[in-house]
Structure formats: structure tokens, C-alpha cells
């Protein structure tokens, strides 16, 4: 199975469409930030469901009402619920959406307690192949354009609690990856309109998973 991963589209969906045409995925994942409600419409996002099933978490620039309504052909929701595990063709997915904040002032804010609770629920549900977050684990694929670390400790703790084989994140618009000594990977997908995607190959029969951070060819 081939999986296309995109992130931080911010209303510019053309690069994701082009990537889907090149990769021809069996599944599409998004780390959030499809675009603000005034940038993307339900038909815009529904187009991707005609290409392949789509599963997404949310960031700080998403039409949450639309994402909550969208369903794949099998009836499964596009927006992965916080702290749950979803299985697709043997691939076990989980998500913790939102960006870190100290309060719930905005709908896309998540606190340390929110992230900790979601991670604990995921861990209780059993092994996870891919963890999707919008925010990044501090110290792991979290360099911002300024060169400073832009991740948060709560997402690092979630990574350590869930122990996914692959942790995919976004938010910082800098494509980067980190492979740990035990072989697990953290990949910041970066911003797909700026040319970055991730392609994951998964073989359920042999339980193998590999992920590559790629640059889209121009044009």
C-alpha cells in the first residue's frame, strides 16, 4: 500500500492534487492546515475522496465543520478523532490534532492535559503504526525557519507514550526528519505547496513500513 502525506496547504490545494497524480496513492493522510474556512470549500476537499480514502488531523487553519462532516466511501470519517486508533487495510493510525496552548480560548488549542490524555488513550488501544499530529515533538524534526526549536514537550511525551513506528507532523513549514536508534522515525512534512510530501510504503503481510520525505518536481 502506498500512502501520500501532505500538510500545511493553507488553501493552496493544487500541489496536493499534483502529488496525488504523481504518487497514485491508496491512502491520503494530512497533518492539518488544509486552509481557513474562507479558503477551502467542502467540494474542494471532497475531490480528494474521489482519488483515495483520506484521513486527517487538524491544525490551526482548518475548516473544522467541513472536516467533521466529510466521510470516505466506506462511511469512515475523514477527521480522525482525538485519542482514538483507526485501522485501514492493516495500517493502524492515530491522531492528536491542534496546536499547544495554555487554554481552550480557540477551538484548535490543546493543552498539556489534552495531549497527555489523548496519548494515554491511544496507548491503551494497542500498537500504532502512524501517529499524526500538527504540532511537533520538541527536539525531533522541529526546527523552525529561524533555526530555533519550535516543538512542544507535550508532543514529545505523546511520542514516547504512544511509541508509533512513524510520527508525522507539520506546522513549522520546514521539511525535516529524524530517525531514532531503534528505527522509529519522526518526519515533519513541511508545507506541501512549497514542494514537500512524504510517501509511505506499507506491507501488511510482512508488517513492513518505510517512509520517504520527497520534493515535488516543479510544475
Domain limits, the chain: 2-215
CA distance 137 to 157: 8
CATH code for the structural domain at 2-215: 3.60.21.10
pLDDT band at residue 217 using 50, 70 and 90 as cut-offs: confident
Q: What is the mean pLDDT of residues 55-70?
A: 98
> What confidence score (pLDDT) does residue 117 get?
98
pLDDT band at residue 218 using 50, 70 and 90 as cut-offs: confident
> What confidence score (pLDDT) does residue 219 get?
65
CA distance 139 to 122: 22
Mean pLDDT taken over the chain = 97
Main-chain dihedrals φ then ψ at residue 34, nearest 5 degrees: -65, -35
> What confidence score (pLDDT) does residue 211 get?
98
Residue 62 has pLDDT above 90, yes or no: yes
> What confidence score (pLDDT) does residue 14 get?
96
Tell me: the pLDDT tens digits for 143-189? 999 999 999 999 999 999 999 999 999 999 999 999 999 999 999 99
Q: What is the mean pLDDT of residues 28-35?
A: 98
CA distance 145 to 43: 33
Instruction: Check: CB of residue 99 under 8 Å from CB of residue 154.
Output: no
What is the model's pTM? 0.97
39-48 contacts at long range (C-beta below 8 A, 24 or more positions apart): 39/10, 39/11, 40/11, 40/13, 40/66, 41/66, 42/66, 42/69, 42/70, 44/13, 45/70, 45/78, 46/70, 47/13, 47/17, 48/16, 48/17, 48/20
Residue 5 has pLDDT above 80, yes or no: yes
Report the share of the chain in percent with pLDDT over 70: 100
| Residue carrying the nine cell digits 493552496 | 12
Query: Any residues with CB less than 8 A from the CB of 38 and at least 6 apart, and which?
Result: none
| CB-CB neighbours of 106 under 10 Å | 10
pLDDT band at residue 92 using 50, 70 and 90 as cut-offs: very high
Tell me: the pLDDT tens digits for 190-209? 999 999 999 999 999 999 99
Amino acid at each position: 500500500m502506498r500512502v501520500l502525506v501532505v500538510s500545511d496547504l493553507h488553501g493552496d490545494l493544487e500541489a496536493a492534487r499534483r502529488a496525488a497524480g504523481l504518487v497514485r496513492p491508496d491512502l491520503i493522510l494530512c497533518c492539518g492546515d488544509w486552509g481557513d474556512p474562507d479558503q477551502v470549500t467542502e467540494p474542494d476537499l471532497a475531490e480528494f475522496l474521489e482519488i483515495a480514502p483520506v484521513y486527517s488531523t487538524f491544525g490551526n487553519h482548518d475548516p473544522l465543520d467541513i472536516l467533521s462532516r466529510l466521510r470516505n466511501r466506506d462511511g469512515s470519517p475523514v477527521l480522525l478523532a482525538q485519542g482514538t486508533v483507526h485501522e485501514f487495510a492493516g495500517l493502524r493510525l492515530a491522531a492528536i490534532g491542534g496546536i499547544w496552548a495554555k487554554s481552550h480560548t480557540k477551538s484548535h488549542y490543546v493543552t498539556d492535559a489534552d495531549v497527555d490524555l489523548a496519548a494515554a488513550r491511544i496507548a491503551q488501544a494497542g500498537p500504532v503504526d502512524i501517529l499524526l499530529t500538527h504540532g511537533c515533538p520538541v527536539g525531533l524534526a522541529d526546527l523552525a525557519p529561524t533555526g530555533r526549536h519550535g516543538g512542544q514537550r507535550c508532543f514529545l511525551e505523546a511520542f514516547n507514550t504512544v511509541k508509533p513506528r512513524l510520527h508525522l507532523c507539520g506546522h513549522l513549514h520546514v521539511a525535516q526528519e529524524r530517525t531514532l536508534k531503534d528505527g522509529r522515525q519522526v518526519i515533519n512534512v513541511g508545507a506541501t505547496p512549497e514542494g514537500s510530501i512524504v510517501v509511505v510504503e506499507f506491507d501488511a503481510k510482512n508488517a513492513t513500513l518505510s517512509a520517504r520525505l520527497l520534493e515535488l518536481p516543479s510544475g
